[in-house]
Amino acid sequence: MRVQIADMDLEQIHLSGQCFRWERLGEGRYRIPAFGRSLVAEQRDGFFEFSCSAREFDEVWRFYFDLDRDYGAIKRQIDPKDLYLNKAAAFGGGVRVLRQELWEVVFSFIISQNNHIPRIRQNINTLCAWFGGGLPSPAALACEKPETLRKLGLGYRAEYLCAAGGFFSDASYLSALKELPYPQSKEALQRIKGIGPKVADCICLFGLHQVEGFPLDTHIKRILREEYPKGFPFERYQGYAGILQQYMFYYDLFGKKEPR
């Protein structure tokens, strides 16, 4: 199907550090695995082509791309005096916070610790290949030995993945976590070995779609230090600061150079 979508750019989403299993097939064209399905999406001349029926798009992919949220309205609410944030939103305004599967986000962001995007993708692809080509289930990781995963290049993260697999094998834990408000879900996630405040915030933002989550990695900490020495105005942007964080993160990565 072919459709126009405002405030969305596939290349920007792919490079924004929130999803790691998208496969780039060519300029503006990606294979996107999610919910046990595979979508080929292409962006060209202001239109999007999706390899699915209109019904599947409305039932699955509209939700995944968060298309029922008005990102244009969010950008219009940015303080006009905040020159930095306006530049960031203008530059990376096609980034959307995807509604990904919770387990995939937990799995990905445990691997992301002290890692960079190309290597995160490599680690994830290696693990998926080891487990037969798809994302390993929590139960599969819970039964695996950390020593095996360390040999696959996971290092100290191997033990954390196995521990998370044990927690998320329990369907009741998964369901309960989805019902918690942001502060409590962030706290609950940090009870899992290897998940600290930053990874917990990433899981809240990208896996639970709690868009008030505001992960503090080295990029964002430096931005806050340099651009907001008196503090970021969280009260003004209550309820969606995490979306603004994505604009800031993307702008810091690519604002002074062309995306790769």
So which residues are the catalytic ones? Answer: 198
Nearest to 56 by CA among 28, 22, 32: 32
Residue 241, both tokens: 């600061």
Residue environment code for 215-246, b if the CB has 16+ CB neighbours within 10 A, otherwise e: bebebbeebeeeeeeeebeeeebeebbbbbbb
Q: Position 247: which residue type?
A: Y
